[in-house]
A and B are shown apart, each in its own frame.
Chain A
Amino acid sequence: MDDELAISVRGLRKAYGDNVAVAGVDLDVHRGEVFALLGPNGAGKTTTVEILEGYRQRDAGEVRVLGSDPAHPDPHWRSRVGIVLQGTGEFDQLTVGEVVRHFSGFYPDADDPDKVIERVGLADKAKARTHTLSGGQKRRLDVALGIIGRPELLFLDEPTTGFDPEARREFWELIRDLVAAGTTIVLTTHYLDEAEALADRVGVIAGGRLVEVAPPNRLGNRQEALATVSWRTPDGARESAESATPTALVAELAARYGGEVPGLTVTRPTLEDVYLKMIGHS
């Protein structure tokens, strides 16, 4: 068994009746890595992640998570895995502090509840009933419960949904802190900037298959992709050309216009462009 792998998946399949949710996924996640799973709704992201978390049984395939088969989770394995689910599990009658403290009792080596509450930015809400929290604050509580056991591997299913931009930046900082401490992170997200900011590698899942796995800046051969050079012709119309040598093209245009090229832009495909192309929306 390869000890460097936090997760190893071969030929994973899962169907609900006739609906095939996961149609043969192979995937390795290394220890200490941040892996982001991108994909449209219904692509099989959550099903895949919930199989890895030990919530769902697979139909076929080999799966190892921290060296064990998640289909048979035992308490020791559970204590090493942190989970932030997509839906929140709400304890309406309890305060933030009570919930976090209660969950800390489940783990052998739990973090200090007050410290965790502060780290997720809920220190001033520690004595508030959870039902009074905003959507983003509830999400922070979810994250607190995911990390209270100081997991080796943390799953985050769309963690920043409902966050304002500042809260998202703070959350990214928290993730970077966890990574610095050696935590392996598997994240699903709709936000491409989030994947780009956090992930070492991105997997794009569509129609139950992993279409590509690559570092965010190399996804879809983004680095080698043709650049698009665009400018305005003298009659005001916009013209553009794809080029492997955009600098040469710009020099040529500069010569043609005798100096400034009107409305000049040079772009390469964004992560969003290559992502949309991969999932078939180009």
Chain B
Amino acid sequence: MTTTLKPAAATAATPVRRLGPGALVLRQGRLEITQFLRSRESVVFTIGFPVIMVLVFASIFGNEIAPGVRYTQYFITGMIATGLMMVSFQNLGIWIPIERDRGVLKRYRGTPMPKWVYFAGKVIMVVAIGIAETALLLAVSVALFDLQLPSTAGRWLTFGWVSLLGVTACTLCGIAISSLARTARSGSAVVTPVALVLQFISGVFILFTELPSWMQQVAALFPLKWMCQGLRAVFLPESFGAQEPGGSFELGRVALVLGLWCVIGLMLCLATFRWTTKRDG
């Protein structure tokens, strides 16, 4: 413990930070991705779950649900949406309470790091893992279950904006719901039931149109139903639009509801986010 010491930092002339905002955000994103990939349970849960579900369900049910559309394709589309929700909403809703409980958030707040860098780091992690997870799911589905990749540039574009809006809404809601959990352990107890119920009522496992109409109406209040519907416009034939409850894929409405959830999620984050636990003041 002996080294020569330079005197403490001089005051006025020193810049606020050595690194610019861009570099800070990239470092934070890299740190978040490293932490995610090293925690085995989140890798298995977040990336493995959708793939395993596709392998199981798509192998069991291969029946046609409409001319030229098999249940497999419908289910895979729903699982892509579910995967995006897991990597954003569930992942953050479970991990942020753990970090808050361990005092990681409090420690960040004691440094000159601007607060928004923490969230930007999470967003980078969500986007990177989301892309990797979706690519894996698509590769498995194309190889084993004859899923057709989007055939036109327009469909890729739809794929892009539906995913982006959906992930944004779910990320913000995940950050917002993280403040409901009082301890590290309760994060998953708060988030998992919400996510699971949404999967059942939003037409992931069961054809949406076969659900009771009240259930459809409840599901239509939340983002997952609209993410699934938007992605069906990408992966299913155009003719399937007629089978949707609204008689078409209603992409305008998809954009509207997901956009609205982005606003709601952002307001909830700003109103409720806590850097310390309750017992910590």
A contact residues vs B (CB 8 Å cutoff): 16, 50, 53-56, 75-76, 78-81, 83, 85, 87-94, 98, 102-103, 105-111, 115, 118-121, 145, 149-152, 170, 173-174, 177-178, 180-183
Contacts and interface: CB of A to CB of B under 8 A. Distances in A.
Given A89-B102, A118-B3, A55 B17 contact: no
B3 to A, nearest CB: 6
20 contacts: A55-B106, A56-B281, A75-B113, A75-B114, A78-B110, A79-B9, A83-B110, A87-B280, A88-B102, A92-B102, A103-B111, A105-B27, A106-B24, A108-B9, A108-B15, A108-B17, A110-B18, A119-B1, A119-B2, A180-B5
Given A85-B103, A181-B5, 11 more contacts: A16-B281, A55-B110, A79-B14, A80-B8, A108-B15, A109-B18, A119-B2, A120-B1, A152-B8, A152-B11, A170-B1
Q: What is the interface residue range for chain B against chain A? A: 35 or more
Interface string B29-41: 0010011001100
Interface of B: 1-3, 5-11, 14-19, 23-24, 27, 31, 34-35, 38-39, 102-114, 276, 280-281
A174 B34 contact: no
Nearest to A181: B5
A226 to B, nearest CB: 41
Given A91-B35, A93-B35, A108 B14 contact: yes
Contacts of A78: 110-112
B8 A173 contact: no
B18 A108 contact: yes
Contacts of B112: 75-76, 78-79, 106-108, 149
Contact of A93 (B5, B18, B34, B276): B34
Contacts of B2: 119, 173, 177
Contact of B5 (A75, A79, A89, A177): A177
B113 A106 contact: yes
Nearest to A80: B9
Contact of B8 (A115, A170, A182): A182
Contacts of B8: 80, 150-152, 181-183
Contact of A105 (B19, B110, B281): B19
Contacts of A174: 1
Most chain B CB within 10 A, of A53, A103, A107, A110, is at: A107
A179 to B, nearest CB: 10
Contacts of A87: 103, 106, 280
A107 B16 CA distance: 8
A89 B106 contact: yes
A151 B112 CA distance: 12
Contacts of A76: 16, 112
